Chains A and B, each alone.
Chain A
Amino acid sequence: MPFTESAGEHRPVFYHPKGEAPQLVTLSVPEKLDYFTRLPLFENILEALFEKRPVVSADGKKQIRDLSVRDALVEHAEFYEVPANTAIFQEGSFGEHLFIILKGTVRTSTHVALDNERKASVRLEDLKEGAFFGEMSALSMNAHLLTAETVTSTFLLLVPQFIVQELATLQEPPLPPLPRFPDFRGLIMQEYVRRAVQTLIRRIPMLRFTSDSDIARLLEKVELKTFEAGDIVFEEGDAADDLYVIHQGFIKISKRDESKQRILSYLSEGDCFGETGVLADAPRSASATAMSRTELLVVPGPEFQLLVNANPRAIQESRGVANLRRLDADMAQDVTFIGARLQFQVEVMPNLDVLAIDENLCVRCDNCVKACAAAHDDGISRLIRKGTIFQEMLLPTACRFCQDPVCLLCKSGGIKRDKDGDIYFTDSCIGCSGCAQRCPYGNIIMVDTEELEHLTRPTLADQIFRFAATKRGEEVPAEQRPRLKKVPVKCDLDKGHLFPACVNNCPTQAIRRYRADELDVIIAGQRNKKS
């Protein structure tokens, strides 16, 4: 972990309703050490090696100096006197410190979403002298799941994130990786997991009325499970056994609609799902898939059910939540375009210029494909009449001249953008197909040069007397053939022509270039006509 000189710049943003600011307290080194030595978190590690730092001595010689944990803390840890009722950090903000209470009381709380608009605050715990908090954000670099507020005037020690992460880090193999400071890591992780589980459980709407003792009993039975990107947590129709709360990552909730999956929602940290199936004792009404590496808190269904049933207010609320979820699912079946429109906006709107085919006008004559092939010397069509369909508009494989063209990430300078915004291949291309792989739309095609006909274009006479011509054109001399085994080809917008060849040669004018916002309006019109 690099040693950051400017740790003092990453100060937390305290908020006090009356504007009372916390005071940064300057202490002498012995005073600081006195506090450090009394904290169980730093027991036995103060004298341990933190890092080796190169220093230049007065005589100009470079030396490597050992820096201990004590030195790092003395240099970078800060002490604050914080007035009562100050928000140290808010739920959803990002923190860069571990906070340790030297004196005073801090209350933690979180919010639970009752529906799309209403939220309720839930108290978690009151922390006293010697307790620490903020470790979740300091360790995982995710947003805070809770709010921390001073109840009384509080004296806090702030330890910068880089020190916390360095102390909690695992050593390099030999396997298994071992912690450098096992006691520190153990204490931090224990509290990390306990607090994460407690906060997440409390964020389940129906459990906010549950007593602390019941929550504590539930906590013993939950476990943290990790899912990789693409893993299915449960599928529509599965038996509903557990409910889940997202600790880290994203979950996609989707419902089957004939052969397609309709996305109902994307859930992130703190959201819970799967409770309706558990409460109704019914099969899963939707599928849940991990979008990224995701940590889920798995709450056993029977225990959860017991807690909910023990509380009348929780029962009432559970019915409301179940109805909401069912409504979402029904709406997804009837109003499917909303998701598709968002998908269109995400996929197409970043592009400047889109070639689109109106499928209701297209007579599938492939004249556009033939025209594209005829318009280029190599006889290869850049246009393939396949691609994503939005309502009745097909977006075929044709360069979209994106605002953010990831295909330009080329080490050899084989693909560039000119001043007019057009993207073209240069002579430096080495045929590595990196651009083709990077293009998110598959619009760059790698062509095997061996398979090209290696013929010049036939003359007009050849074309007219096609059936009588024995061969088309003449063979290109070997030195004029492409030197690479594979060459990339893509739509070049038929630059300079009034219309691109594909547009110019469509008998029904089904194919056209649109601006992305223009196309958005057309597709919205088609959707409205259908509904």
Chain B
Amino acid sequence: MRSPARWYAIATILAVVLTLVYYYHYTSYLVEPPSGRTFEGLVLGNLGFAAMVGALLYSVRRRFLSRAMNAIHVDPDSRRKLKESERQALEQLQNLQRQVMQNAALRISAVRRQAQRILRQTGMKRYLYAQVSTAPGGRGARLAIGRREWGGRLQTWYYWHLMLGILSILLILTHAGFRFGNLVAVLALICLIGVVVTGIWGYIIYQLVPPALTKVEERVEKTPEELRDELQEVDQELGTIIKEKSQTFCEIYQQEAAIPGVSLEPTWRWLWAPAEIARDTTRPDRLRLIVKEIPAPEQEDFRKMVRLLFQKEKLEVSLYPQLRYDYLLKVWLSLHIPLTAGLMIFSLIHIVSILHY
């Protein structure tokens, strides 16, 4: 992953600092460790919960793709007027930008006032930003213009999600003083551990699977949808061929169609299944012997069936690794998300019960 080293550095430093603080304060001085009842425990618990909620906000941001917030829900005529106002505002702001670049003596406050005036007069305060700062080198001002974004880049949210997730488990464990409380608290903790473990699993999957999947896609050169369409056509042709054939013919077909014997429907077994399936190299010899058992009028169709079976096998062998890798990229979410839901529910019950009692 192209994650800046600073994220790892910040996370490591925070973890080390927390551990040192905890060790120094509670262990070396033999002071009573925190629990939900102590002030420190409450503070750590609140921080831990805040970290969990912060981590959860990533999925809110991801779901409500930024445009949902700053989309212009207007009719075409109003939209046209807004676009015209935007054009005017941008023109004036760009003129101001040019002046700022040419005149280092302009004061930041004056530029800021003028930029805000332009935005107010054109009615673009909600849609555009005009950020004034000190120019590099400390001389004069710098004016940055653009459309308002909602939420920032998803990658930034993702890294915060990872860090807050790991931080939350540290905080909650220290909040409880590495002791178990009542049933609800234990369930919440189990869910939290499950969320973090599945999250780490997902992170590792995101590191390992894309390069492997890229190699498979380079080799196969067809998308899974195209392969599935071809497979469907082959199955239809096979269905036509085996109609009204002798029992021997149909039995052989049933036997051969079951190879390579891997279902192309996602299943938990794919988690430990091999990455690729091998072709059956004994099939040509086997079928050469079998063809003698086929009645003479059906020999021609048998040969067609054999060609189609080879084609089917080739398609399945090509399709399987792509499907499996796609599945691996997504399967961890089927645990991570329900556990998150469970964590929030049990945490809220735990908090309410603490406050109430």
User: Could you tell me the distance in whole angstroms from the C-beta of A180 to the nearest C-beta in chain B?
Assistant: 54
- Cβ-based interface call for B149 (8 A): yes
Stretch from A65-73, A247-255, A306-314, A358-366 at the B interface: A358-366
Q: Is the CB of B155 within 8 A of A501?
A: no
Q: Hey, which chain B residues are within 8 Å of A360, CB to CB?
A: 210-211, 214
Interface of B is mostly: helix
- Cβ-based interface call for B351 (8 A): no
Closest to B79 in A: A377
Q: Is the CB of A459 within 8 A of B73?
A: yes
Provided the pairs A498-B147, A498-B149 are in contact, do residues A505 and B213 lie with their beta carbons within 8 angstroms? no
A456–B78 CA distance with the chains assembled, in angstroms: 14
Q: Hey, which chain B residues are within 8 Å of A365, CB to CB?
A: 329
Q: Hey, which chain B residues are within 8 Å of A459, CB to CB?
A: 73
**What is the size, in residues, of chain B's interface with A at 8 Å between Cβ atoms?**
37
Provided the pairs A480-B75, A496-B146, A506-B155 are in contact, do residues A371 and B2 lie with their beta carbons within 8 angstroms? no
- The A-contacting residues of B in range 212-248, CB under 8 angstroms, are 213-214, 217-219, 221, 223
Q: Is the CB of B329 within 8 A of A363?
A: yes
- The B-contacting residues of A in range 359-407, CB under 8 angstroms, are 359-365, 367, 370-371, 374-375, 377, 386, 389, 392
Q: Hey, which chain A residues are within 8 Å of B149, CB to CB?
A: 497-499, 504
A456–B64 CA distance with the chains assembled, in angstroms: 16
Provided the pairs A362-B210, A496-B146, A497-B146 are in contact, do residues A463 and B68 lie with their beta carbons within 8 angstroms? yes
Interface of A is mostly: loop
- Cβ-based interface call for A259 (8 A): yes
Q: Is the CB of A501 within 8 A of B154?
A: no
Q: Is the CB of B73 within 8 A of A374?
A: no
- Cβ-based interface call for B113 (8 A): no
Closest to A496 in B: B147
Q: Is the CB of B67 within 8 A of A501?
A: yes
- Cβ-based interface call for B62 (8 A): yes
Q: Is the CB of A359 within 8 A of B65?
A: no
- Cβ-based interface call for B107 (8 A): no
Q: Hey, which chain B residues are within 8 Å of A507, CB to CB?
A: 62, 154-155, 157-158
Provided the pairs A360-B214, A506-B154, A508-B206 are in contact, do residues A371 and B67 lie with their beta carbons within 8 angstroms? yes
Q: Is the CB of B2 within 8 A of A508?
A: yes
Q: Is the CB of B153 within 8 A of A499?
A: yes
Q: Is the CB of B67 within 8 A of A375?
A: yes
Closest to B74 in A: A456
Closest to B1 in A: A508
User: Could you tell me the distance in whole angstroms from the C-beta of A186 to the nearest C-beta in chain B?
Assistant: 53
- The B-contacting residues of A in range 407-464, CB under 8 angstroms, are 456-460, 463-464
Q: Which of B73, B149, B213 has the most CB of A within 10 A?
A: B73
- Cβ-based interface call for B40 (8 A): no
Q: Hey, which chain A residues are within 8 Å of B326, CB to CB?
A: 364
- The A-contacting residues of B in range 176-203, CB under 8 angstroms, are none
User: Could you tell me the distance in whole angstroms from the C-beta of B162 to the nearest C-beta in chain A?
Assistant: 10
- Cβ-based interface call for B85 (8 A): no
Q: Sample 13 A-B pairs with CB under 8 A, ordered by A number.
A: A260-B221, A359-B213, A359-B214, A370-B65, A371-B66, A389-B218, A457-B73, A463-B68, A480-B75, A496-B146, A497-B146, A503-B153, A510-B210
Closest 3 CB pairs of A and B: A359-B214, A374-B65, A507-B158
B-contacting residues of A (Cβ < 8 Å)? 258-260, 358-365, 367, 370-371, 374-375, 377, 386, 389, 392, 456-460, 463-464, 480, 496-499, 501, 503-510
A-contacting residues of B (Cβ < 8 Å)? 1-2, 62-69, 71, 73, 75-76, 86, 90, 146-147, 149, 153-155, 157-158, 206, 209-211, 213-214, 217-219, 221, 223, 326, 329
Contacts A371-B67, A460-B64 supplied; 5 other A-B pairs, CB < 8 Å? A363-B209, A365-B329, A370-B65, A499-B149, A505-B66
